[in-house]
Amino acid sequence: MKNFLHFLGFDEAKHKVRTELMAGLTTFLTMSYILAVNPLILGDAGMDKGAVFTATVVAGAIATLVMAFYARLPFALSSGMGLNAFFAYTLVLVMGFSWQQALAAVFIEGIIFILLTVFRVREAIVNSIPLNLRYAISVGIGLFIAFIGLRNGGIIVQSDATVTTLAPWTAKSVLAIGGVILGCVLMALKVRGALFYTIIAMTLIGIPFGLTQIPEGFSILSLPASIEPVAFHLDFSRFLSLDIEYYIVVFTLVFMDLFDTLGTLIGTSTSAGMVDKNGRIHGLNRALMADAIGTTVGALAGTSTVTTFVESTTGIAAGGRTGLTSFTVAILFVVALFFSPFFLMIPAAATTSALVLVGVLMIRTITKIDFADITEAFPCFVTILMMPFTASIAEGIVLGMLSYVLVKLCTGRHRDLSIAMYILAVFFVLKYVAPLL
């Protein structure tokens, strides 16, 4: 037993088994909403929901096990919010890629991320992107996720006059609004697993209103749904045809995943005192490798980009400091695999709370943007505005970075631009010019 715990970075003189186990349970309960939300979002892209549920569990469990044994850190991973929305609503429904082509893009991104981690070039990429734009991207994704939640919950609907408008009151919208309020209250009261409990409560309340459909012969326990409908269905045709738009998509996935993971790891580790005197996180490169492997395996299994969950902060706050915490989360993922009937009967309105409140958490970085400098504020505004308005995270990033380069050049502040920003700007211009040629 001691040898096993040693492989997880556990030191009996510093850590307690019970504390690490409870930390793992806390993290799992806090992030388990993804098991309900991810099949619904990827299901909108035409993927089999049962198979996606299994793929989500498999990818999350494998990535978290790599985090436990290789990085020995208390972080958990699964299909990332925002990244799954980008996959379904931007790549498939807006840009017209098939979900098989989108999975291939995720797989390529994972391979690139592995290479970036092996050759330790992530710092150069991070430093090339202006800090304010990084904050703006998080805010824009938060708004986009919340927009999806409001739409799925029937709170807002399409309007010929105003594009979108508040929907008439229905049982579905009332359930969704009630979930958002309940989730907010539970989070304010610091209830561990607030989003998970809210989804369960709304699912149960939805039964008498016909919103939660209980299939005939329903059993809360069952064998996992087959992963075959989505596993290994990758289509590389757009990549092999040298499609510039597809390459930009791959870059965008790398960019989003890289900053999402780094932001979570650095922010969480710093607040928990898990850094050395120079501010470095022990095992950061290994943690990034766990993320990269998770994304690659996840694409093969049939799910969107896997990333480190910010909800890991709840387990760390509960005392988790070693890989035993993440190992516990991985085991709980496997256990959840046998409860797929319950997760798959959860209605879209019940998950509105998770989408909206995760959006609230992501939008907090807006306070870090320098709005006093218009050359910084305007590109950030473009980034934030265009994500929900174009229903595309990629367009928000591209237009935000292009406006940043243009504004800086036109105001004589070219020194604020890195060489990488010039290269990216040319690449992005080609995205819009190429279809005209």
Beta bridge partners of 281: 275
Joined together, the tokens standing for residue 250 give: 């791959």
Q: Which residue has the tokens 């990034």?
A: 288
pLDDT attached to residue 263 = 65
Tell me: the pLDDT tens digits for 311-340? 787 788 778 889 999 999 999 999 999 988
Q: Where are the beta strands (DSSP E) in 100-251?
A: 156-159, 163-166
Say which range, 12-21, 83-92, 332-341, has the weakest mean pLDDT.
12-21
Which long-range CB contacts under 8 A does 423-431 form with residues at least 24 apart? Answer: 424/128, 425/401, 427/248, 427/251, 428/248, 428/398, 428/401, 428/402, 429/402, 430/244, 431/244, 431/245, 431/248, 431/398
Q: What pLDDT score was predicted for residue 271?
A: 53
- Give the residue from 307, 292, 290 showing the smallest Cα distance to 87: 307
- Can you give the pLDDT at residue 435? 61
- Structure-token pair, residue 318: 């509960």
* pLDDT at res. 78: 95
* Nearest-angstrom CA–CA distance, 8 and 417: 42
- On whether the CB atoms of residues 115 and 362 are closer than 8 A, the answer is no
Instruction: Look at residue 393 and tell me whether its pLDDT is greater than 80.
Output: no
Whole-number Å distance between alpha carbons of 74 and 141: 25
Task: Give the integer Cα–Cα distance in Å for 301 and 429.
Answer: 34
Domain map of the chain by residue range? 2-131+168-212+225-354
